[in-house]
Amino acid sequence: MENLPQHFDSVFTVDCIIFGFDEGELKILLIERNEEPFNGWFALPGYFVEKTESIESAAERILYECTGLKGIYMEQFYTFGALERHPQGRVITVAYYAMIRLTNQKDLKPVTTFARQAVWMPVKDMPELAFDHSRIFRKGFEKIRNKISYQPIAFELLPEKFTLTQLQHLYEVILNKKLDKRNFRKKMLAYDILKELDEKQKGVSYRAAKLYKFDKRKYAKHFNKELTFTKE
């Protein structure tokens, strides 16, 4: 194989699975494509990586273009390169996922031309997606389902202040099974990564629950990891 410099122009893409939690449902961000191929189909937000940017920053840029959000930690999880995955040629794609907090800004307008609109799609009514994106989604979903069972990463999806019941619901949705309330609370508090606030829920027609906050410091101490949740 020749290795002439002009051959060193890789063309490849990034695709992102962006999880959000809203109205008790797990959702992911999809775009409706506005160009061929698969014009009009739903797809994962993703596009070509520029020659001058790293894969990570491309992922961040795409996420920004679809949501207006910046500085979200994304994790690479797999690279898909089947020969026939793109009808126009050989395009490999590096897949990332992110979990974001979607408060207020529920209706997102994409800042790009390649997407007609962006929507939060409940995971349970996922349509068939463009390219091999359905497959990418399944693999990514499996990944976070796995990860959440041994690492407390669900906070990223919740508002800053949340109740234990909200947190539990989120786990139940992701893991797709009922959890025991007492055991869940015991275990979660035993992790010692939550800070109990002097504040309660408001506006509910039943006993208000205590609010909690995720405590980055304690998390870092226990898991001796960088605080990768929100890259600063």
31 forms part of the interface with its own copies (CB under 8 A): no
- Using DSSP, state whether 118 is helix, strand or coil: strand
CB atoms within 10 A of CB 5: 6
Contact yes or no for 27/19 (Cβ under 8 A):
yes
Q: How many CA atoms lie within 13 A of 164 on its CB side?
A: 19
Measure the CA–CA gap between 28 and 182, rounded to whole angstroms.
29
Q: Which does 182 bind (CB under 5 to 8 A by kind): its own copies, DNA, none?
A: DNA
- Burial of 79 by CB count in 10 Å (0-12 exposed, 13-18 middle, 19+ buried)? exposed
Q: Which does 205 bind (CB under 5 to 8 A by kind): DNA, its own copies, none?
A: DNA
With contacts defined by CB under 8 A, name the span among 8-16, 26-34, 186-194, 219-227 that binds its own copies: 8-16
Question: Minimum distance between the CB of residue 190 and its own copies, rounded to whole angstroms?
Answer: 21
Size of the site for its own copies (CB under 8 A): 32
Would strands 92-99 and 12-22 be described as parallel, antiparallel, or unpaired? parallel
CB nearer to its own copies: pick between 135 and 161 = 135
User: Would you tell me which residues interact with its own copies (CB under 8 A)?
Assistant: 1, 3, 5, 7-12, 35, 47-55, 76, 78-79, 81-83, 86, 88-92, 94
User: Would you tell me which residues interact with DNA (CB under 7 A)?
Assistant: 163-165, 180-183, 185-187, 190, 204-210
